[in-house]
Structure 1
Amino acid sequence: MFDSCGAPYVVYRRPHPPAVVDYLATQWGRATTRPRILDLGCGPGTLTLDLAERGAAVTAVDVSEEMLAAGRDWAQARNIKSVTWKRADATDAAILAKESGPFHGVTIADAFHWMDRRQVLSSLDQAVRPGGFVAVIGYRAPGTQREWWHALLEQLRLRWLGSVNLAGPATTYVEPDGGHEEILRRSAFSQVSVLRTDYRQTYTLNELVGLQRTYAYSSAATLGDRQAGFEEDLRRTLTAARPDGRFEAVLQAAVIIGRRPADAA
Structure 2
Amino acid sequence: MSPAPHEIFTSGAPHYARYQPRYPRGLYDHLTEKFELNGTQTALDLGCGPGTLALPLSRLVARVIAVDPEPGMLEAGATIAERQNVDNIQWKRGDSSDLRALGIPALDLCVMGRSFHWMSREQVLTDLDGLVNPQGGVVLVATTPSETEWSRAVDGVRERYRTHPGGGDDGSRPEPQEPNREILRRSPFPRVTAEYWTYRIDRTLDEVIGLQFSHSSFTPARLGARKDAFERDLRTALADLGPNGRFEQTVRTEALTATRRHRAPRPG
Q: Give every structure 1 segment of 4 or more consecutive aligned residues whose post-TM-superposition deviation is greater than 6 Å.
A: none
**Aligned runs of 1:132-143 on 2, under 5 Å?**
132-140=136-144
Distance in 2, Cα, partners of 1:148 & 1:131: 45
* Change in CA separation of 1:18 and 1:83 when aligned onto 2, cut-off 3 Å: same
Identical aligned pairs, as a percentage?
34
| 1:35-67 per-position Cα deviation (integer Å, ceiling 9, x unaligned) | 100001100101100000223410000000111
What does residue 150 of structure 1 align with?
A: 151
Tell me the residue number matched to 1:15. Answer: 22
- The equivalent residue for 2:59 is 53
Assess, with a 3 A threshold, how the Cα gap between structure 1 residues 178 and 56 changes in structure 2: closer, same or farther: farther
- Secondary structure of the 2:86 match is coil
SS of the counterpart of 1:58? strand
- Equivalent residues of 2:37, 2:61 under 8 A apart: no
Partner of 1:88: 94
Residue equivalent to 2:257: 257
Match of 1:63 among 59, 65, 69: 69
Write the distance in 2 (CA, Å) between the matches of 1:190 and 1:55.
Answer: 24
> Shift in Å at residue 240 of structure 1?
2.4
Matched, 1:121 2:122: no
How many Å separate the matches in 2 of 1:251 and 1:264? Answer: 35
Q: CA separation in 1, counterparts of 2:100 and 2:147? A: 35
Encode CA deviations 1:211-238: one digit per residue, 9 max, x unaligned: 1111101111111110100011001111
**Mapped partners of 1:103, 1:91: distance in 2:** 18
Structure 1 gaps of 5+ residues are none
Does 4-13 or 131-140 show the bigger shift? 4-13
Distance (whole Å) between structure 2 residues aligned to residue 3 and residue 14 of structure 1: 19
Distance in 2, matches of 1:147 and 1:40, equals: 31
Partner of 2:228: 228
Q: Deviations over 1:78-123 (max 9, x none)?
A: 0000000110112333334xx3421001000122122221121111
Q: Which amino acid aligns with 1:203?
A: R
Q: Secondary structure at the match of 2:79?
A: helix
Task: Decide which moves more: 183-192 or 157-166.
Answer: 157-166
TM-score of the superposition, structure 2-length normalised?
0.89
1:146–1:53 CA distance, 2 compared to 1 (3 A): farther
Q: Please say if residues 43 and 108 of structure 2, whose CA atoms lie closer than 8 Å, have aligned partners that are also in contact.
A: yes
Contact 1:212 1:219 in 2 (8 A): yes
Tell whether the 8 Å contact from 2:13 to 2:214 is kept in structure 1 after alignment.
yes
**Aligned Cα RMSD in Å?**
2.0
Give the counterpart letter for 1:217 in structure 2. Answer: S
The residue identity in structure 2 corresponding to 1:211 is L
What is aligned with 1:240?
240
Report the residue type matching 1:198 in the other structure.
Answer: T
SS in 1 for 2:206: helix
Q: Deviations over 1:9-52 (max 9, x none)?
A: 22212211111122122232166x71100001100101100000
Give yes or no for contact 1:36–1:105 (8 Å, CA) kept in 2. yes
Give the aligned partner of residue 196 of structure 1. Answer: 196
CA distance in 2, matches of 1:114, 1:173: 6
User: Does structure 1 conserve the Cα–Cα contact (< 8 Å) formed by 2:22 and 2:52?
Assistant: yes
Give the whole-Å Cα distance in 2 for the aligned partners of 1:16 and 1:156.
27
SS for the counterpart of 1:44 is coil
Aligned residue among 53, 66, 74 for 2:80 = 74
Figure out how many residues of one structure are paired with residues of the other and give that number.
257
2: distance between equivalents of 1:27 and 1:179?
23
1:34 aligns with 2:35: no
SS at 1:244 equivalent: helix
Contact in 1 for aligned 2:58/2:89 (Cα 8 Å): yes
Query: C-alpha separation between the residues in 2 aligned to 1:75 and 1:172?
Result: 27
